[in-house]
Amino acid sequence: MQDQFVELLRHGEAAGGACFRGGQDDPLSPAGMEQMTRATAQNPGWNAVFSSPARRCHAFAQQLAAAHDLPIMTLPQLSERHFGAWEGLTANQIPAADLIRFWEDPIDYTPPGAEPFASFRQRVLGAWDAVRTAGAAYPLVVTHGGVIRVILAEVLSMPAAATILLEVPPACLSRVRVPPSPGRPSLIRHGCA
């Protein structure tokens, strides 16, 4: 049995600028589309595409899959964490004390009406298992920064609280090697193209 390689691609800049947009379904901005195009210009041999259903991921994933004649699967579990009352707000629009609590304790502090981190993590790791067991030797996963942080923290055996320390900028591309069992996945590359 051979190693599997999984590439994780965060969507590019979304229309409306930087904000807590978990469930808010904004499309990519023109700059975000260009970021995604640059990040995927060198196809290393992907043989499947998995995508979050959010427009900022799925529209580009469909376009890429069609251009390379690849099967595409939409996984709702690859959606970003929902931020409840913070949806659509910039960091400056959130009370400073609440934002500090969130940055200092992202696991136990849940913004009002938001998806608890434990539920989000469980959902994302279910998607990670689905991608790894789908039979694609080299899938591309088009998703969100929070999703990628959870997956990379799992691969690197980092404590859940450390996920917030992983920088995942727009159109960031990460490659993970998944060896046959009993081998453990490892991070090969992480960053912008």
pLDDT in tens, 24-74: 899 999 999 999 999 999 888 999 999 999 999 999 999 999 999 999 999
What pLDDT sits at residue 193? 56
> Average pLDDT for residues 96-101, to the nearest whole number?
95
The full set of domains in the chain, from first to last, is 4-139+147-192 (3.40.50.1240)
* pLDDT tens per residue, range 121-171: 999 999 999 999 999 999 999 999 999 999 999 999 999 889 989 999 999
pLDDT digits (tens, 9 = 90+) for 81-95: 999 999 999 999 999
* 107-122 confidence digits (pLDDT tens): 999 999 999 999 999 9
Q: Is 42 exposed, middle or buried (0-12, 13-18, 19+ CB in 10 A)?
A: exposed
According to the model, what pLDDT value does residue 96 have? 96
pTM, rounded to two decimals: 0.96
Q: How far apart are CA 162 and CA 107, in angstroms?
A: 9
Residue 172 is predicted with a pLDDT of: 97
Question: Which CB contacts under 8 angstroms, 24+ apart, belong to 1-5?
Answer: 1/180, 2/137, 2/180, 3/177, 3/178, 3/179, 3/180, 4/132, 4/136, 4/137, 4/138, 4/139, 4/177, 4/178, 4/179, 5/44, 5/137, 5/138, 5/175, 5/176, 5/177, 5/178, 5/188
- The three state secondary structure string of 62-95 is HHHHHHCCCCEEECHHHCCCCCHHHCCECHHHCC
